[in-house]
Amino acid sequence: MPRWNELPDSLDERVRRLVVQLRGLKDHSGLSLSSLQTKTGYSRASWERYLNGKALPPRQAVEELARVVGVDPARVLALHEVAEEAWKQEPDASKTADPPKPRRTRRSALIGVLVAVVLGGLFAGLLVVAPWEHGGSTSPSRGAFAYRAGKTYHCVVKRKDGRLYAGYSITSTALLSGPAWDVVEAQCLLRYHGFTPGVVDGAYGPNTTRAVKRLQSQARLPVDGVVGPHTWQVLRK
């Protein structure tokens, strides 16, 4: 797996989260930039810009990457939508959004959907690894996460099979971008390691971001404040 260059400090946090997720998809696929060019129709140079935060990929490029890897594009497209809004507000004229390529035919689009459905189960571990018995990264007894202001969660961290768990999620790769049980899990583990995120409420706010950056700095990871696979690896130790 390549060691990625650190993203620019000036890059908006919402764009940063999209780029980190795209890097994770590329790493998981094991494909080179040249292979991505062949399989997605977007040039090697374009992917180099996308994956280093120099240009915002068009929505279709994100869909194509998800199709190639075989994962449900819904989550990545949600990140893209948020990143696109942030990019439009960016005053730096040197940053550009690449135009979309011509749409695929209806037949090829249908084939892409079928491939994603068939392969989705094989690559589901990219976003959520080692699911609970009933599927997903969250304990089945938890249900859907609903953020409530003032609501906090108790942390009891235990080691199982050599890895730390707080009982809210078992993911080791999910990209944190909003209120979720995965965020509660990360906050508990941050506190366990001595990096207080403030209150444990499931919201990925500035206190949690600062705690993540301190952890990343100590672990000699790129200090971007984004919890992705490498940061989860440290949290689970």
Ordered per-residue pLDDT tens for the chain, 237 residues? 456 888 888 888 888 888 988 988 888 788 899 999 999 999 999 999 999 999 999 999 998 998 888 877 877 888 888 888 888 886 553 455 565 555 444 444 444 444 444 334 433 344 333 333 333 455 545 788 888 889 999 999 999 999 999 999 999 988 887 788 999 999 999 999 999 999 999 998 889 999 999 999 999 998 888 888 899 999 999
- pLDDT at res. 47: 94
Q: Please report the DSSP string for 84-104 in residue order.
A: HHHHHH---TT-EEPPPPPPP
Tokens of 92: 């730096």
Displacement of CA 234 from its chain's centroid (Å): 16
- pLDDT at res. 78: 81
8 Å CB contact between 62 and 47? no
8 Å CB contact between 177 and 205? no
8 Å CB contact between 196 and 212? no
Strands 158-160 and 163-165: antiparallel
- pLDDT at res. 92: 52
Place of tokens 């990143």: 83
- pLDDT at res. 98: 60
8 Å CB contact between 72 and 120? yes
- pLDDT at res. 28: 79
- pLDDT at res. 215: 96
Per DSSP, what are the bridge partners of residue 160? 163
Q: Say whether 216 sits in a helix, a strand or coil.
A: helix
- pLDDT at res. 106: 47
Angle between helices 59-69 and 13-29 (to 10 degrees): 30
Q: What domains sit in the chain, N to C, each tagged with a CATH number?
A: 13-124 (1.10.260), 158-235 (1.10.101.10)
Q: How far is CA 211 from CA 133, 190, 196, 214, 227, in A?
A: 31, 7, 6, 5, 11
Phi-psi region of 49 (alpha: psi -120 to 50; beta: other; left: phi over 0): alpha
